[in-house]
């Protein structure tokens, strides 16, 4: 796993979270994550990559954190069960995907980031066959775990 590339996924997530959820800090060290392992978070924003890199990033969070993030984005109380909360989180994920593509491009890795997927379930898998890394980020609305798994395209 190229740590410099993994840092770009964290940077994109941190920048996006800081824009709506106050300062976001990397709350712990990097940890190896089984690329084909399943997430334990209740809400996941999944970004799939193709191009110079192939793989996925999963920005996972608890339902409480997702509700807090949606509430900040909507500027009112929100519940992930509501369409408006899910819609605003999808919009947030699209902005995150655009920033990630920009950062990867600036680093010389031209990638297409597919339309983000919002999943309301545990057990989301990253990219099978790719080395994985998980990075916890703490925010004012709760923790977000970034799990990244990718490989250079052949």
φ, ψ (nearest 5 deg) of residue 6: -60, -35
pLDDT in tens, 6-63: 889 889 988 888 888 766 666 655 555 554 567 889 999 999 999 999 888 999 999 9
Confidence at residue 94, expressed as pLDDT on a 0 to 100 scale: 94
Q: Average the pLDDT over 125-138 and give the result.
A: 78
| Model confidence pTM above 0.85 | yes
Whose tokens are 């106050």? That residue is 22
Q: Shortest CA distance to 68 belongs to which of 31, 38, 30, 24?
A: 24
> Would you say residue 92 has pLDDT above 80?
yes
Confidence at residue 35, expressed as pLDDT on a 0 to 100 scale: 47
Instruction: Reduce the secondary structure of 11-57 to three states and give it as a string.
Output: HHHHHHHHHHHCCCEECCCCEEECCCCECCCCEEEEEEEEECEEEEE
Q: Specify the number of domains making up the chain.
A: 1
Full domain range(s) for residue 28: 3-152
């Amino acid at each position: 796993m190229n740590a410099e590339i993994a840092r770009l996924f964290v940077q994109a997530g941190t920048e996006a979270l800081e824009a709506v959820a106050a300062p976001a800090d990397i709350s712990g060290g990097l940890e190896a994550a089984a690329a084909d392992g399943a997430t334990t978070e209740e809400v996941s924003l999944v970004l799939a990559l193709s191009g110079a890199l192939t793989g996925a990033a999963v920005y996972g969070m608890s339902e409480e954190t997702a509700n807090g993030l949606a509430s900040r984005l909507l500027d009112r109380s929100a519940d992930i069960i509501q369409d408006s909360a899910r819609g605003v989180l999808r919009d947030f994920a699209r902005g995150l995907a655009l920033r990630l593509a920009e950062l990867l491009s600036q680093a010389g890795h031209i990638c297409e980031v597919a339309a983000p997927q919002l999943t309301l379930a545990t057990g989301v898998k990253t990219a099978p066959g790719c080395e994985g890394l998980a990075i916890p980020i703490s925010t004012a609305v709760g923790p977000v775990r970034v799990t990244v798994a990718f490989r250079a395209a052949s």
